[in-house]
Amino acid sequence: MAKTVIVIGSGFAGLSAATHLAHQGYEVTLLEKNEVPGGRARVFKTDGFTFDMGPSWYWMPEVFEKYFEFFGKKRSDYYDLVRLDPSYSIFFGKGDVMHLPATMEKLYELFESYEAGSSKKLKQFLEEAKYKYETGMDDFVHRPGHSIFEFADPRILTSLFKLQLFSSMSSHVRKLFKNEKLIQLLEFPVLFLGATPENTPALYSLMNYADMSLGTWYPKGGMHEIIKGMVTLAEEKGVKILLDHEVKNIVVPNGHASEVITTKGSFTADVIIGGADYNHVEQHLLPKRSRVYSPEYWDKRTMAPSSLLFYIGVDKKLEGLHHHNLFFDADFNLHAEEIYEDPKWPTKPLFYACVPSITDDSVAPEGKENLFLLVPLAPGLEDTDELREKYFGIIMDRLEAQLGTDVRNHIIYKRSYAHNDFKKDYHAFKGNAYGLANTLMQTAFLKPKMKSSKVNNLFYTGQLTTPGPGVPPSLISGKVVAEVVSKEFPQN
Ligand SMILES: Cc1cc2nc3c(=O)[nH]c(=O)nc-3n(C[C@H](O)[C@H](O)[C@H](O)COP(=O)(O)OP(=O)(O)OC[C@H]3O[C@@H](n4cnc5c(N)ncnc54)[C@H](O)[C@@H]3O)c2cc1C
C-alpha cells in the first residue's frame, strides 16, 4: 500500500511538494480553500482582460526548466517563454528614465553613461554575484535548514566569507558605486523581496545576477500559465486536487496528526504538509499544545511587505510604458523606512506598473491595455477603501504626469486588492504578500522549521520557511520538503 499524503494549499510550494511525492509513488491529495489553484499566482478574467493576481517577474528561468525536466518533461511542453528587452524601465523623474537592456554589452554602456569607470566595477560585482548565485542555488537552497550543522561542512565554511552573509547589501553596493540611480537599481530587488538593503546580507546580490545576467522573461498567456502547467503535471502524476476545500482543523491526538477537517469533510493520511501560510497552519489549524512557536515569536518576525494592488483595464494603448516599470520618482529610503522601521502608509510611495499587454495581446482586448499597479506597504496596516482610493489618486497623478497623458478617464475596469484581501483569500499573516523578509536573522536554519518538532508527521513548505519568498524559492521549497518526507516516511 502506498503511503498517503495530504498537502494543504495549491501555491507553487504545495503543487511542487505534491508532484514530487506523487512521482515517488505516494498517494497525494491536495486541499485548496479557493476555487482557483495557484495561491498568490491566481488569475481572473473579466471584460476581455486576463489579470495575473500576484507575481509578474519571471526570473531564474533555469529553476523552472529543471522543475519540469526532473519529471522527464520540458517546460516548453506546458508554456512558451519570451525574454523581455528592455528587462524593465525605471522612472526617476519626468523624462528621466533608465531602460535596462537585456545584453551585457549594452548594460555596461548604460553604467558608464551614469558613472565613469562603473562598468568595470559592475563586472566584478556580477562575478561575485554569480559565485553566490551558483553556490546558493546548487547547494544552500536545497538544505532543509533543520539545524546549523547542515552548514558545517568545510566547503561551505570556506565559502562563507565569499558569500558575504555578514555584510549588508547596502554597504556592498555603496563600496563600488557612487551614483544614486545605479545604487537604487542594484538595491531594488532586495527591497521588493523583503527587507531594507541595510538589513539584507550582501549574499542577496545573487538577485542582481539573476536580474542582469539571467534576464527577465515572460510566459506567454501570463504567469498563471506556470500554475496551469504545474497542475497538469501534478494530475498526470496522480495528485488529486480538491479545490474549495478549506482546512479548518488538524486533529493531533498524541503527537501524531491523525485527521484533517475541511469545509467539505474530513481526510486522513500518513503525512500532512502545510503549504498554506505557516503562521496560519500552526497558529490556527493546530491545537495549542502542538504549536512550536508562540504568538510573540510570530509578532517578532520581520515580514516581507504587503501590497496595495490595482488591476486596471484601459481603453487605449499607453505610450511611454514598457512591460515592467518601476516608479522611483520618490525618496527610496523614506519609503523603505515606512515599510520596515516605522510602519505606516507611505508619505510618497514608490510604485510598480506592469503592462503585460505590451508583450502579449491575449491578456487585453485589441487596442486596450492591461495595467497592474503595485505599491509595497508595511504588513499589518489598517486597510480601508478610503486609503486605497487616496493612494490610487496619488499614483495616478504621478503616472499621468510621467506619461503626459490622461489615464483615469480611460479606465474601463478597476479592482483593488490589499491587506484585507490577502488575509481573507490566503490567511496571510498581517496581510503579507511575500512571506518572511530575507534578513540575516531569518536565513536558512533561522527560519520557521520545515518539520514540526511536536507533531511527528507534520511538515511545512512555502514562502515562510526555507529557502524563502518568491516563485523560484517556493518551487524549490516543495521539492526539499518532499525529500525530507521521503526520508522520514519512506515507501516500503
Ligand atoms: C502581489 C505579489 C507580487 C509578487 N511578485 C512576484 C514576482 O514578480 N516574482 C516572484 O518570484 N515572486 C513574486 N511574489 C511572491 C510569490 O508569488 C510567492 O512567494 C509565491 O507565490 C508563494 O507561494 P506559496 O506556495 O508559498 O504560497 P501561496 O501562493 O500563498 O499558496 C498557499 C495556498 O494555500 C491556500 N490556503 C490557505 N489557507 C488554507 C486552508 N486553511 N485550507 C486550504 N488551503 C489554504 C491558499 O489559498 C493558497 O492557495 C509576489 C507575490 C505577490 C502577492
- From first to last of its 492 residues, the chain has per-residue pLDDT tens of 899 999 999 999 999 999 999 999 999 999 999 999 999 999 999 999 999 999 999 999 999 999 999 999 999 999 999 999 999 999 999 889 999 999 999 999 999 999 999 999 999 999 999 999 998 888 778 888 877 776 666 666 677 777 787 789 999 999 999 999 999 999 988 776 677 888 888 888 999 999 999 999 999 999 999 999 999 999 999 999 999 999 999 999 999 999 999 999 999 999 999 999 999 999 999 999 999 999 999 999 999 899 999 999 999 999 999 999 999 999 888 998 899 889 999 999 999 999 999 999 999 999 999 999 999 999 999 999 999 999 999 999 999 999 999 999 999 999 999 999 999 999 999 999 999 987 878 878 889 999 999 999 999 999 999 998 999 999 999 999 999 999 999 987
SS3 54: coil
d(CA 230, CA 64): 10
Residue 277 CA to ligand 1 center (angstroms) comes to 8
Check residue 192 and give its pLDDT. 64
Question: Residue for cell digits 566595477?
Answer: 121
User: Is there a contact between 354 and 369 (Cβ–Cβ < 8 Å)?
Assistant: no
Residue 196 CA to ligand 1 center (angstroms) comes to 22
Check residue 203 and give its pLDDT. 87
Residue 45, judged by CB atoms within 10 A of its CB (0-12, 13-18, 19+), counts as: exposed
Residue located nearest, by CA, to atom 16 of ligand 1: 470
Ligand 1 pocket member 466 (CB < 6 A): no
Q: Which domains does the chain have, with CATH numbers?
A: 1-65+81-102+220-492 (3.50.50.60), 104-214 (no CATH)
d(CA 142, CA 477): 8
Ligand 1 pocket member 145 (CB < 6 A): no
* Host H or E run for residue 376: strand 369-377
Residue 66 CA to ligand 1 center (angstroms) comes to 21
Ligand 1 pocket member 429 (CB < 6 A): no
C-alpha distances in angstroms, 166 versus 161, 200, 202, 218? 8, 9, 7, 34
Instruction: Mention every residue, 6+ apart, whose C-beta is less than 8 A from residue 284.
Output: 427
Residue 122 CA to ligand 1 center (angstroms) comes to 33
d(CA 291, CA 410): 51
Q: Record the pTM.
A: 0.97
Ligand 1 pocket member 39 (CB < 6 A): yes
Q: How many CB atoms lie within 10 A of CB 94?
A: 12
How many CA atoms, within 13 angstroms, populate the side-chain half-sphere of residue 457? 23
Ligand 1 pocket member 246 (CB < 6 A): yes
Grid coordinates standing for 451? 518539520
Q: Report, in this order, helix, strand and coil percent for the chain, each rounded to 5.
A: 45, 20, 35
Q: How far is residue 35 CA from its own chain's centroid? A: 21
Check residue 155 and give its pLDDT. 66
Residue 37 CA to ligand 1 center (angstroms) comes to 10
**What is the CA angle 425-430-436, rounded to 5?**
100
